[in-house]
């Protein structure tokens, strides 16, 4: 097998995996496996991972250069367009193909880590190194395994890598299994928000989105209730940017193109609306939700 394909689980498959999580969690608790709450208490008590560590972790996560990390860094306009087109195709199809040989032979580019990024990694790894052995983490790992068994396909034959759960559990090639689980877990975790936002406002996707909304066409197959996270979030952010562009007091383009600036702009509008409501008793108007009719352009 040279290529493995991943798809998102169906509603029924997700339900099976969720029920399996509940059953495994109850089993681990009965066997006396420590819970996350219990472990965090002892980690704090013995100053291994304290509440101060957690506060530091959350502080670093909120640092703009980390919270608003730029996706597709280093790509020129042509390269960016191709990457967006590729990602959009994967989102629409709900399938991702990975060439195993190319993945195993590719070299990871080494970069000098920013001090905040390095510290965030240290704290996250420290916390996870202990939490991975809790009842909740073990049950979650089992849930992911069930989903991987459902959603992994041999790209050459389009048959499941493991036809059923029993075959998955008895897989002898553990290195191969770990590789597929790792790749599948990354796929199932969905695309990061900053990347989805960038795609949502890029012309490659936006042109399709606007055409579909104007003509009533369907961009994604199946009912909304069955959309995977990538489709749901892309639709959400596409609609969000529609409202931004159509707002009476729409921000300038450079603000829309910067997640941090746009979030700050929206927060300011919400504060102003709240202040107006407090002073006058009238409901404030944020502006972004009061849109112009039949216009996809900002004022």
Q: What is the DSSP string of 135-147?
A: HHHHHHHHHHHHH
Does the pLDDT at position 157 exceed 90?
A: no
Residues 6+ apart with CB under 8 A from 47: none
Sign of the C-alpha dihedral, residues 48, 51, 54, 56? negative
Residue 287 pLDDT class (50, 70, 90 cuts): low
- Please check the confidence at residue 294 and state whether its pLDDT lies above 90: no
Rounded mean pLDDT, 273-296? 61
What pLDDT does 273 receive?
83
Assess whether pLDDT exceeds 60 at residue 186.
yes
Predicted pLDDT of residue 155:
87
Rounded to 5°, the CA angle 272-278-284 comes to 45
In angstroms, the CA 182 to CA 111 distance is: 22
Q: What is the mean pLDDT of residues 77-93?
A: 96
Give the residue extent of every domain in the chain.
Answer: 3-188, 193-280
DSSP 8-state class, residue 226: G
Helix/strand/coil for 233: helix
| Range 162-188 burial, b when 16+ CB lie within 10 A, else e | beeeeebeeeeeeeebebbbebbeebb
The average confidence (pLDDT) of the chain is 91
* Per-residue pLDDT at 109 exceeds 70: no
pLDDT digit string, tens, across residues 8-55: 999 999 999 999 999 999 999 999 999 999 999 999 999 999 999 999
């Amino acid at each position: 097998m040279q290529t493995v394909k991943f798809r998102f689980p169906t509603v029924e498959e997700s339900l099976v995996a969720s029920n399996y999580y509940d059953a495994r969690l109850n089993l681990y608790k009965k066997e006396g496996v420590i819970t996350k709450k219990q472990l965090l208490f002892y980690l704090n008590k013995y100053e291994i991972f304290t509440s101060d560590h957690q506060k530091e972790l959350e502080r670093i996560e909120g640092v703009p250069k980390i919270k608003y990390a730029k996706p597709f860094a280093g790509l020129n306009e042509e390269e960016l367009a191709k990457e967006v087109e590729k990602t959009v195709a994967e989102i629409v199809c709900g399938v991702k193909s990975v060439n195993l040989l190319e993945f195993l032979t590719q070299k990871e580019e080494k970069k000098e880590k920013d001090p905040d990024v390095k510290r965030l990694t240290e704290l996250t790894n420290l916390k996870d190194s202990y939490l991975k052995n809790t009842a909740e983490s073990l049950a979650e790992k089992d849930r992911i395994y069930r989903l991987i068994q459902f959603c992994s396909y041999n790209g050459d034959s389009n048959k499941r890598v493991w036809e059923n759960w029993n075959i998955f559990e008895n897989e002898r090639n553990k290195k191969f299994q770990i590789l597929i689980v790792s790749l599948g877990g990354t796929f199932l975790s969905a695309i990061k928000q900053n990347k989805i936002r960038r795609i949502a406002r890029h012309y490659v996707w936006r042109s399709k989105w606007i055409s579909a909304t104007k003509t009533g066409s369907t961009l994604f197959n199946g009912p909304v209730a069955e959309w995977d996270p990538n489709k749901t979030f892309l639709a959400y952010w596409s609609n969000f940017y529609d409202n931004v562009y159509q707002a009476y007091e729409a921000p300038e383009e450079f603000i829309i193109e910067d997640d941090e600036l746009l979030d700050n702009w929206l927060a300011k509008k919400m504060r102003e609306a709240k202040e107006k409501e407090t002073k006058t008793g009238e409901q404030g108007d944020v502006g972004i939700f009061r849109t112009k009719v039949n216009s996809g352009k900002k004022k």
